[in-house]
Amino acid sequence: MSKGSILQRNAIRPIYNITPFTLLDFPDKTACIIWFAGCNMRCQYCYNPDIVQGKGKLFLNQALEFIQSRKNLLDGVVLSGGECTLHKEAFILAREAKKMGMLVKVDTNGSLPMRLQLLLDYNLVDYVALDFKSLPKNYHMITGAYEFSNFEKSLHLLIHSKIDFEVRTTVHSDLISQEDLHRMVKFLEKRAYTGNYYLQAFINDVPTIGNMGPSENLGNVEKLSTDKIKVIKRES
C-alpha cells in the first residue's frame, strides 16, 4: 500500500477506539485492540452498542502511528469491532502491522468469507476468532441478519487453511439452550472441526442492543465435549 493510498483512506474515521494493551484477546501474546465502528449484525446480547451503532472517532493514520509506537513493545494487533472485515482500512492496518514484524489477529462474525479469504491469501492474518452465533433456526432472531450460509463458508475456509483459529459462542440462556449448544457441537463435529470450542458467558447488568436481562449460569459446559472438540467456558 503506497503512502498516497494510505493518506487517501484518511478521509474517513473508521476506528471507534484503541485498547493499548491486552493479555486476554490474543492467545499467549501481548497485543493492542483496534475497534472498528459499525457492524452488519445487531446481536441481541451485544454489549458494544456504542461501537456497533456508533461512528468512528479515529483516522487510519492515528491507528498506524499508535501501532508504530508499539512495534517493539507488543507481539501483535487485534482487529475487532463491530465487524472489522467491513472496512478496507482493516486490510491496510494488517499489512502495515505485518511489515513492522507484528502478528495480526482478526475477530469476525464470518459474514464476509471472500474478504477473509483475501486476508489469508496475502498472509495478513495469523489467528482468527470466528463467532458461531447460532444454528440456522435462531440465527436471524439472535443476530438480525441472514448470514448463516456465509458463516458456514468462513468456517469451511478456516478448517481447510493452515491458520490457527478458534470458534466461540456468546451464550445468553434466553437465546441459546443447553440442547442448542449440544447441537452446535455436533454441527462443528460434522464439519470436521477439531480443537477448542469456547463458550463465552454473557455478562449480566450491562446495556445491550436487545435490552437483555440477566442470563443463567452456563454450568458445566465441559460435559458437551467430544473426542475431537473440547468445550471450554470463558468469560466474554
**What residue ranges define each of the domains in the chain, with the CATH number in brackets?**
3-235 (3.20.20.70)
Cα–Cα distance for residue pair 159/6, rounded to 1 Å = 32
pLDDT at 3: 53
Strand partners for 230 = 196
To which residue does cell 492515528 refer? Answer: 62
Beta strands in 155-209 (DSSP E): 164-171, 195-201
What the block records as the C-alpha cell of 143 is 443476530
What the block records as the C-alpha cell of 13 is 474515521
Which among 49, 148, 38 is positioned nearest to 87, based on CA atoms? Answer: 38
3-class state of residue 32 by DSSP: strand
Q: What is the pTM of this model?
A: 0.94
- CB of 205 within 8 A of CB of 169? no
Q: For residue 20, how many other CB atoms are within 10 A of its CB?
A: 12
Residue 155 is inside which H or E element, if any? helix 148-159
What the block records as the C-alpha cell of 210 is 436487545
Per-residue pLDDT of the chain (236 residues; tens, 9 = 90+): 455 555 445 568 999 999 999 999 999 999 999 999 999 999 999 999 999 998 999 999 999 999 999 999 999 999 999 999 999 999 999 999 999 999 999 999 999 999 999 999 999 999 999 999 999 999 999 999 999 999 999 999 999 999 999 999 999 999 999 999 999 999 999 999 999 999 999 988 889 999 999 999 998 999 999 999 999 998 75
For residue 184, how many C-alpha atoms fall within 13 Å in the half-sphere facing its CB? 29
